[in-house]
Amino acid sequence: MRSIATGTIESVDRRYNAHPLATKANCRRLRGMSSSNWPGNRLLLALPSRNLKQLMPELEHIHCQREQVLMDADSSLDHVFFPDSGVVSVVAVYADGSVIEMATIGREGCTGMQAFFGAKTSSVRLLVQIPGSAAKMSRAAFARAMESMPSFRNLMSAYIQAFLEQVLVSVACNGAHSLKERLARWLLMMRDRTDEDALPITQNLLAEMLGVQRPTITNAAKELERAGLIARGRRQVTILDRRCLAEESCECYQLVRTRVASHLPKTYT
């Protein structure tokens, strides 16, 4: 498996300090956009208003299509993405081309874990699971904000801790709990990030993300469907009973919510 890049926050390229965050070229990116409802990313919205205003010229609004690769493993880490809606999976890529999901990112977070530590190459693939939109920020602007804006740096630090909590719990969950429990947890996590019961996902993608064969995920989904918790459709899974689905899930679902909220209190509100 391609290893996750590591480093230290001190390794962020300090040459960016000499450049201001905003440029005329960047300002043109936001022309015609309404600032009243964008961005919708909760990390960015948690910044003091003056700091968010300072960052706005560096943000480009993009649409994310289903199964789009925003960044591939071993590619240049040129941008950081802050989802406004939809869900992005962080996946490990193996030598034979197979993948497995390590974490998910929605409106509560960003893809800046490796950029936070100064990495310039991505060791993971960023795959759009559920379509939506995002704010796209260059790595250079991200590094400048880290250096010049304490509120941004502190917020990113809290998010990295929350993100690592998710990854650590997921690793334990994969080894300790049944596929049906893991599937229930995964669906609930998608629901938390979209506020929609109808999730535009395929069973092939579910199998790939959970690291199992298609027939195996089909059997697990059938169990949840027979219990009246979900309904399967063409390229869609609909949650019918969220409360009972949470009861079928393993304890990891609530554990991740609790730990993430301890670092980022406004994640689920």
Summarize the confidence of residues 7-18 as an average pLDDT: 34
Identity of residue 107: R
pLDDT digits (tens, 9 = 90+) for 123-144: 999 999 999 999 999 999 999 9
Question: 40: closest CA among 128, 107, 137?
Answer: 107
pTM of the model: 0.83
Diameter over CA atoms, the chain: 61
In this structure, the number of other CB atoms found within 10 A of the CB of residue 252 comes to 20
Give me 173's structure tokens.
């969950």
Handedness of CA 97, 102, 107, 109 (dihedral sign): negative
DSSP per residue, 13-28: -GGGGGS-S--HHHHG
- The end-to-end CA distance of the chain, in Å, is 36
pLDDT digits (tens, 9 = 90+) for 182-237: 999 999 999 998 889 999 999 898 999 899 999 999 999 999 999 999 999 989 99
User: What structural domains and CATH numbers belong to the chain?
Assistant: 27-170 (2.60.120.10), 178-249 (1.10.10.10)
pLDDT digits (tens, 9 = 90+) for 241-251: 999 999 999 99
Question: CB–CB of 65/130 below 8 Å?
Answer: no
- Residue 114's pLDDT is 94
Give me 39's structure tokens.
């961005």
pLDDT over 80 (residue 30):
no
